[in-house]
Amino acid sequence: MRRLVALAFLGAAPGTIGATAGWAQGEIVGWGESVLVGRSATSGLMAVATAGGHIVGLKTDGSVIAWGSNGYGASCAAPLPNEDYCAVAANLWNSAALRRDGSIVVWGSCSEGEDAIPAPNADFRSVAVGQYHVLGLKADGSIVAWGSNHRGQCAVPHPNSAFVAVAAGIHHSLGLKADGSIVAWGSNDYGQCSVPTPNTGFAGLAAGGYHSLGVRLDGSVAGWGYDQSGQCRAPSPNADFTAVAAGLHHSLGLTSDGTIVAWGNNQLGQCDIPEPNSGFRAVSACYLQSAGLGADGAVVTWGSCDQGWVRVATGNSGFVDMAAGPHHFLGIKADGSIVAWGSNESGACEVPWPNSGFTAVAAGDAHSIGLRPDGSILAWGSADFALREIPVPNTGFVAIAAGGAHNVALWSTGVLTAWGRDSHGQTSVPGPNSDFTDVAAGRSHSLALKANGTIVAWGYNGEGQCEVPEPNSGFVSVAAGSFHSLGLKADGSIVAWGWNGGGQCNVPSPNAGFLAVDGGESHSIALKADGSIVAWGDNAWTQCDTPSPNGGFTAVAAGEQVSFGLRGGVVVAGLPSDDHHVPARGIRVVSFPNPFNPRTTIRYDLPAAGPVRLSVFDVAGRLVRTLVDESLTPGNHEAAWDGRDASGRETGSGSYLARLEFGGKVETVHLGLIR
């Protein structure tokens, strides 16, 4: 629920900003309910397990990487030391990995004791994870089962011996014997434990939600159990299969030529295998998602994007800013293109063509909006409540915000417009509608900042989110969570008000030195001047556990139960991209007010004496005016820009870039001019 926040830094504590080791320039880091990892991070995998909302991958170096939904305590955070693993397994709430020493590690919700591995935790050869239970296969061919046993899924039948493989469904379990027979136990409500005859010649098995699969030595697949969507009936020709996987109501089969066959429920595209359908060496399915592991070690995923699911982003570098909705997320690249990921409900992630030249983005519940350099707005996703019908004239806009099902936009004249759902008056801008400089939107309320530093709030006020605390003055930016509001003061402090059920309005001490802030459902996140991030409030999804190293960040955003930080500085199209060496101490570069009319002050802090050049460029990279070009002493400095070029002529409304050069290093900060 955030509009673009443009801030940049020159320097920080050692090892943070700029060319930070291990992080790409302009990389987005995500944590909390949804974890984002770069495409390069998921290469070189030797095994993969889908889990309903997250994916766990085993790398060739023995480490585990996970991404997607991070619910209930780090389903996406493999326990340390993250090394010496040889197999992975996962289900909706939990993940498991087998170490080379034969021990098993389980992490996630573990609400039924899934992480309490029975002693001795040794000599295991494989592991499977059901919804609330875990199966471990021992080297002697016996099975150990633990966790929930309310349907008998942990009661391994006698004789418990000669097993060579295991699989776990929601409430049932499967074991493959060395003689090629399958043993099933647990819930049999739909016949998922009634193995068909002849129960011989099986070489592999899989357990779905309420159905079971077995692949025979002759390459055919047998299915049994719940079959309403045809998930138990492999399509013709039922031959040449080497492996199977089972989701909630769909099935996957891998053939000997490396292609994947899918059948069963396809409501969310879980059976629509992406092209090219070739070169796969493993398959995995869980609930409404599917995955294939390529021969090159890369993962291909398809199916549901819901339930906090986050697809692996391609090219996670070169971002200059981002925005977060409750369940989908947007990033702007230096070339003005948008990358979208997360829930694609109503097409919220389908950026219209041409995908270029955007200067700001905002994300609502199921829709997105983007601002172009000409001041026009483009909207996509849900068309409910006329969300995609931009008010006229669709030109001259300088700031945008997206709420749950409404939008707020600021014209260069300082006038606001709002459209979409008006169930609580969130689109009814109060008068006088003038002199506004910034906007934000929550689930059903709206915020706007006046040029005099006061905040105006309207819409749903059931949690007091529209009651701005006194003194209502000195604010430089606004942000909104679902049902709470935040304001950043000129002195670097944050004021928060509204719903505080998770402690999201309790700004931690010291409440100083902040440069940007955003709000999620029940947590808040803020950026410090030293490039570090502070998060507070509800932490049930680890959304407040900032990643390490906590430094080098230039922007923040919060989704419903997820947090994002933009790391690595800002690279601007049309301007040189410099190697950002890290000075010895933190320096911030910020403008106030921003957006502005008629004048803004650019403040910066130098760690040492030396030549400084501070210039203003337009978005095409053309020099507008040089404000500072001289040697300066260490300490705080500032320069004013009145919106005029070098010849004294007024420049037009729009986005500009202030570029600071010092000691061979360059940083930029975006400026919004409102005429």
Question: DSSP readout, 499-535?
Answer: --TTSTT-PPSS---EEEEEE-SSEEEEEETTS-EEE
The pLDDT of residue 343 is 75
Is residue 293 domain-resident? yes
The pLDDT of residue 559 is 87
The pLDDT of residue 297 is 78
% pLDDT > 70, the chain: 83
- 663 vs 99 pLDDT, higher one: 99
Is residue 173 domain-resident? yes
Could you read off the pLDDT of 282-297 as tens digits, one per residue? 899 888 888 888 877 7
Q: CB-based burial of residue 391 (10 Å sphere; 0-12 exposed, 13-18 middle, 19+ buried)?
A: middle
> For position 53, which CATH number holds?
2.130.10.30
Max CA pair span of the chain: 91
Report the mean per-residue pLDDT for the chain: 83
Name the phi and psi angles at 505, rounded to 5: -100, 0
Is residue 621 domain-resident? no
Q: State the Cα–Cα distance between residues 173 and 212, nearest whole angstrom.
A: 9
The pLDDT of residue 43 is 55
Is residue 120 domain-resident? yes
Could you read off the pLDDT of 180-235 as tens digits, one per residue? 999 999 999 999 999 999 999 999 999 999 999 999 989 999 999 999 999 999 99
The pLDDT of residue 80 is 66
The pLDDT of residue 423 is 96
> Residue with structure tokens 């502070």?
534
Name the domain count of the chain.
Answer: 1
Could you read off the pLDDT of 33-43 as tens digits, one per residue? 555 444 445 55
Q: Do residues 148 and 133 touch, judged by C-beta distance below 8 A?
A: yes
Residue type for 537, please? G
Could you read off the pLDDT of 236-266 as tens digits, one per residue? 999 999 999 999 999 999 998 899 999 999 9
Q: State the Cα–Cα distance between residues 507 and 501, nearest whole angstrom.
A: 14
In SS3 terms, 572-584 reads as: CCCCCCCCCCCCC
Whether this model's pTM surpasses 0.95:
no
Is residue 206 domain-resident? yes
Q: Region 462-466: what's the mean pLDDT?
A: 97
- Is the bond leading into 393 cis (omega within 30 degrees of zero)? yes
Q: Which domain holds residue 291?
A: 37-303
Is residue 596 domain-resident? no
Residue 592 confidence class, pLDDT cut points 50, 70, 90: low
Is residue 517 domain-resident? no
- 571 vs 658 pLDDT, higher one: 658
| Residue 607: pLDDT over 60 | yes
Could you read off the pLDDT of 628-672 as tens digits, one per residue? 999 998 777 889 999 898 888 888 766 677 888 877 666 667 676
